[in-house]
Amino acid sequence: MRLDQVTVGSTDLDRSEAFYRTLGLQLIVKDRHYLRFECPDGESTFSVELVDEVRDTEQVTVYFESDRIDDECERLLAAGVEFEHPPTDMSWLWREARLRDPDGHRLCIFHAGENRKNPPWRLDPG
């Protein structure tokens, strides 16, 4: 099994399309109720569906990994994207920046490299 996509709701698909294109995702499907993007690296996709409201109780954080997190965040800042916190080295051996999309969904742009799947504290598969 592999993760195919993550879908979030939006009250304004045009606004979401502009935001996620600014992040660097490539739009591959668009209709009146749905957007689907390809990530520039890897096989995963990301979707946005039109909803009447985005509930405050949605507690998902979507992570996008970049090998050049600092450059990526500088590019996004120049494009007007606001961050809750800039790229920061974290105790779990990742460098990450936090932001929200226009509908309030939590996003994290990070770089973990080998530590993403194989941190020093990874459980023994046995």
Q: Is the pLDDT of residue 126 over 80?
A: no
Burial level of 37, CB count in 10 A (0-12/13-18/19+)?
Answer: buried
**45 band by pLDDT with thresholds 50, 70 and 90:** very high
Q: Is the pLDDT of residue 116 over 80?
A: yes
Burial level of 120, CB count in 10 A (0-12/13-18/19+)?
Answer: exposed
Does the predicted model carry a pTM greater than 0.95?
no
Max Cα–Cα distance, the chain, nearest Å: 48
What pLDDT does 22 receive?
97
What is the distance between the alpha carbons of residues 94 and 20, in angstroms, rounded to a whole number? 23
Helix (H, G, I), strand (E, B) or coil at 45: strand
Sign of the CA dihedral with 31 first, then 106, 95, and 82 last: positive
Residue 111 burial (CB count, 10 A): 18
Helix (H, G, I), strand (E, B) or coil at 62: strand
Q: 65 φ, ψ to 5°?
A: -95, 140
**19 band by pLDDT with thresholds 50, 70 and 90:** very high
Q: When comparing pLDDT for 14 and 117, which is higher?
A: 14
What pLDDT does 57 receive?
80
What is the per-residue pLDDT across 20-36, written as a single tens digit (0 to 9) for each? 999 999 999 999 999 99
What is the per-residue pLDDT across 55-114, written as a single tens digit (0 to 9) for each? 888 778 999 999 999 999 999 999 999 999 999 999 999 999 999 999 999 999 999 999
Mean pLDDT of 48-60: 89
Q: Is the pLDDT of residue 1 over 80?
A: no
CATH fit for domain 5-116, picks 3.40.50.1000, 3.10.580.10, 3.40.50.300, 3.10.180.10: 3.10.180.10
